[in-house]
Amino acid sequence: MTFALFDAPEREPSQAIGFSGNIIDRQSEKRSEDDVPSALADPSARLLLIRNGRLLLKQNDGAFDAEFRLDEAEAFQPLIADAVLLGRSGNGPVLALPAEFDPETLPETVKAIDFRSVAVQGLIDAPGLGALAQGAALLAWHASHGFCSKCGHRSEMRAGGYRRACPNCNAEHFPRTDPVAIMLCVTREHCLMGRGPHFLPGMYSALAGFIEPGETIEAAVRRETFEEAGIRVGRVAYHASQPWPFPYSLMIGCFAEALNEDIGFDGAELEDCRWFPRAEVRAILAGDTSAGVFVPPKTAIAHHLIRAWAESD
């Protein structure tokens, strides 16, 4: 058996995927109770302002900027008490805050754009998208976990947003990340793709499902593939991962070896599922729309799984 680590590329595939380019120094071992006030008092602090799945962006000469100074942010009703500290960039502290701005009454030079559009349209750079994934996930967790799950009392934010503490029973709660297995099931010359009822017309993608408690990544890949498509899986190989801030998932991308090719699905989760030959997938990736089929955009890990297989020998 060979040791694969030293044969791996120096730049792992995850770095090319949307929301994965975060370069903020999280300083996770140095977090304290006064982190947020100290960061806000720093003149170099930059703020990401978020509301209802939208990121606030400044526009100047066609370029977008997601970072606001505190004095700039005040016009958009930031909820300072709910700020979370993401860490430090080369320019200073970076924080994410919920804000109560009205998207319909913003100045012409400021836009509130949904996370997917920000990523797909490339409105901010890879480090900015990575910071958005971190901030959006943290804010979503705080918004949905304001009460102690042990006693029901209102909990309080601690450690710059990386912990909640209950003043009633002293229980501590930590940010949640939901692991999702996303897998491209393949044979030598075909890959399996499906489409859910909520997909855009014509879009096919890799299959995916949440990893359950006590389940390995490989077991989740095998279970989900069989449940959704009736395909039994042999070997499973990890490829890449992607933070997915909808609201706080981690997509774990794998390739799965198909042991049978007869598809069986009940239509409960998938609207359609079929095998695609490599030549057809390559044509789709090259922009051929003659078959009315397309795959997810480059910001999605599914695209990278599909492309990596299609372009392999």
pTM: 0.94
**Nearest in space to 312 (alpha carbons), one of 188, 228, 162, 126:** 188
Cα–Cα distance list, 181 to 185, 220, 253, 255, 295 (Å): 12, 7, 6, 10, 18
Residue-wise pLDDT tens digits, 275-291: 999 999 999 999 999 99
Res 266: pLDDT: 76
Tokens of 210: 């949440």
Residue-wise pLDDT tens digits, 128-187: 999 999 999 999 999 999 999 999 999 999 999 999 999 999 999 999 999 999 999 999
225 pLDDT more than 70: yes
5 pLDDT more than 80: no
Res 2: pLDDT: 59
Res 243: pLDDT: 98
Residue-wise pLDDT tens digits, 58-77: 998 889 999 999 999 999 99
pLDDT band, very low/low/confident/very high, at 11 (cuts 50, 70, 90): confident
Please tell me which residue, 212 or 62, carries the higher pLDDT value.
212
Res 297: pLDDT: 97
1 pLDDT more than 70: no
Res 265: pLDDT: 84
- Taking the C-alpha atoms of residue 148 and residue 173, their distance in angstroms, rounded to an integer, is 8
pLDDT band, very low/low/confident/very high, at 267 (cuts 50, 70, 90): confident
- What 3-state DSSP class applies to 209? strand
- Taking the C-alpha atoms of residue 282 and residue 277, their distance in angstroms, rounded to an integer, is 9
Supply the DSSP symbol for 34: T
pLDDT band, very low/low/confident/very high, at 101 (cuts 50, 70, 90): very high
